Structure 1
Amino acid sequence: MAVFTPLELSDISEWIAQNFQIGTATAIRGIHGGIENSNFFLDTSADGKPQEYVLTIFERLTAEQLPYYLELMRHLANRGISVPKPIENRNGQILFELKGKPAAIVSKLPGLSRLSPDSHHCALVGEMLAKMHLAGKDFNLTQDNLRSLVWWKKTVPDLLPHLDVDQRQLLQTELKAQEEFFGSSEYAELPFGASHCDLFRDNVLFDPQGNGNQAADRLGGFFDFYFAGTDKWLFDLAVTANDWCLADNKKDLDPELLKAMLAAYEAIRPLSTVEKKYWPMMLRAAALRFWISRLWDFYLPRNAQMLTPHDPKHFEKILISRRTV
């Protein structure tokens, strides 16, 4: 999350009062981190009770693209998946305009991030991801993952001038391999549906229990669905594993963490024979996707308050590791 469009309380207090039934806006704070939208914690008071929400101004996504993400969150929340639920205005709308840009308000989940997860956390995430995939089976909207192969092919030529010889060769070689994979008949057989596509550690919250022992953590929920899309569920799982199941060297997969995640996922939705066969290739696809996007944000950045681009070297190393499996 980041801030490209600054907001002050004076900018929104009257807008909130006129258009929503969530009480009086009392504070708004920009959220640090991330790279796509302008995000804020929004505090309100209703009947003397404090409430917390997240307000997002969308900087790249269009008003035509956004219903997919917002309706998916509403769909999943209504089916018992712990995700932020979009807040309706007085006219029943969940997509608005603020500062001339599309905007939305969603409920704020309780809990905190665990940025150094153990097997317990990986199992909780794997279980909920499988439940989320199944809960989205009857979601009636579809939208391609906007950061998939079409975007990779469009973006890579702009990146090549910024890379050294070895990086260019790696990027072009892997892109060609993924084009062939995506065009195969077996890829077409892989199960698909609504997918988060960005389920990193900082997009999951845990609810601590008792004395704060992390082994007792419960899953608080998944958030930041604005990279979601209709994609292969195996890709969604690979994106998740590439971040959650990293070994101490920050590039290889930790066998214990991966085993915990996959076992918990498959207890809810067993992987097919074809999915198991192409798991290594999908791990590479997931690594490539984030190497490309981090290269793009690093070398072709936009101006923003509180924007901290991620180091692209991280996913370069992960991709090299996955190619050796």
Structure 2
Amino acid sequence: MAVFTPVSLADLSAWLLQFPLGRAHAIKGISSGIENSNFFITTDAGDYVLTIFENLSFEQLPFYLHLMDHLAQRGILVPAPVANNAGQLVSLLHGKPAAIVSKLSGTSQMEPSPLHCGEVGTMLAKMHLAGQDYDLQQDNLRGLAWWTETAPKVRDFLSPEQLQLLSSELQHQQTYAASAPYQTLARGPIHADLFRNNVMFDGTRLTGFFDFYFAGWDTLIFDLAVTINDWCIHLESGELDPARVSALLNAYQQVRPLSTEEQSAWPTMLRGAALRFWLSRLFDFYQPREAHMLTPHDPAHFERILRKRCEQ
């Protein structure tokens, strides 16, 4: 989350007239993240999150917003999109598509215990099962095609050692994606960005997943690998913490057991999940967009993680 498009309280007040939320009382930009412009807003009806989409189009957005609604109807704890008085989930604000969703209770757990990881594993598996009958499909926009397209855009900023790592890992992922075993992996809508700051807890009780705007159709095991690579590591070294890994994987498999093919794919998926975020952080760090509030992430973090996963 970030702020690329500023919105004043006066701007919000005028725009909010089309929603059944009463008057606007406050708006505060959210600095974390790097993709869209996000704000906490307070209205007569309560607290919400406003997002202005900087890259996604009107045509793409129904996939994300209806996915949240689909999951919520099946008991998954996610924000609820708010329709305007015309029944629309997306409308223009400052010439860009924007949407309002409910604000989850709780706080992010940035130092998770095995207990927190177990809660995440259980809800992630339930989310994957709940998404199986979702009738809209849209590719993971940060999947292998994007990795292949983005790698040349960051090469000039890398050392020879980094170039070697990037080239060899991209080739490894491309080769695996073209293999027969890859085609057998279970697929469906995935979150694709389920980091610690995208989950809310009240103590040890999980209160919701949010920020679904990197979601897309991909292998479910990839989503699990993305989650493990953030929730179950020592941040300083990138090393996996066996206790947290076991807690998350065991909880997940109590709900959705992994197939033999998924278990075989696991090391490659952990590497692919690390490559995806190393590439995106390299791109955002070296090719940044102008923003009024922006906190770029250090690419070295996921470079360390990728190197560790390649050693395993």
- Superposed pair shares fold, TM > 0.5: yes
Matched, 1:9 2:9: yes
CA deviations on 1:218-274 (whole Å, 9 max, x unpaired) are 001000000000010000000000000003643111100000000000000000001
In the alignment, is residue 310 of structure 1 matched against residue 297 of structure 2? yes
What corresponds to 1:212 in structure 2? none
Q: What is the CA–CA distance in structure 1 between the aligned matches of 2:237 and 2:187, rounded to whole Å?
A: 29
Which residue number corresponds to residue 256 of structure 1?
243
- Which stretches of structure 1, 4 residues or longer, exceed 3 Å deviation after superposition? none
Give CA deviations for 1:65-95 in whole Å, capped at 9, x if unaligned. 1111111011111111110110010111101
The reply to whether residue 286 of structure 1 matches residue 281 of structure 2 is no
- Tell me how far apart the structure 1 counterparts of residues 157 and 282 of structure 2 sit (CA, whole Å): 9
Deviates more, 1:246-255 or 1:312-321: 246-255
Distance 2:234 2:31 in 1: 26
Does 1:23 find its partner at 2:22?
yes
Alignment counterpart, residue 204 of structure 1, candidates 199, 203, 206: 199
How much does 1:206 deviate?
0.1
Q: Within 1, Cα distance between the matches of 2:195 and 2:75?
A: 21
Match of 1:102 among 97, 101, 105: 97
Distance 2:288 2:122 in 1: 36
Cα deviations by residue, 1:77-131 (Å, 9 ceiling, x for unpaired): 1111110110010111101111000000000000001101000000000000000
* TM-score using structure 1 length: 0.95
Q: Distance in 2 between matches of 1:3 and 1:185?
A: 43
Paired with 1:34 and 1:299, the residues of 2 have a C-alpha distance of 16
Quote the RMSD (CA, aligned, Å): 0.8
- State the alpha-carbon separation in 2 of the partners of residues 250 and 234 from structure 1: 23
Paired-residue identity, %: 59
CA distance in 2, matches of 1:154, 1:107: 35
The question of whether the paired residues in 1 share the 8 Å contact of 2:15 and 2:93 is answered with: no
Q: Alpha-carbon deviations, 1:268-287, whole Å to 9, x = none?
A: 00000010111011000000
Q: Decide which of 210, 222, 227 is 1:223's aligned counterpart.
A: 210
1:145-196 Cα deviation digits (max 9, x unpaired): 0001111111101110110100001000000000001111100100010100
What CA distance in whole angstroms lies between the structure 1 residues aligned with 2:244 and 2:115? 8
For 2:49, the equivalent position in structure 1 comes to 54
For 1:107-256, list aligned pairs within 5 A.
Answer: 107-208=102-203, 217-247=204-234, 249-256=236-243
Classify 1:248/1:99 alpha carbon distance in 2 versus 1 (closer, same or farther; 3 Å). closer
Uncovered stretches (5+) of structure 1, i.e. residues with no partner: 209-216
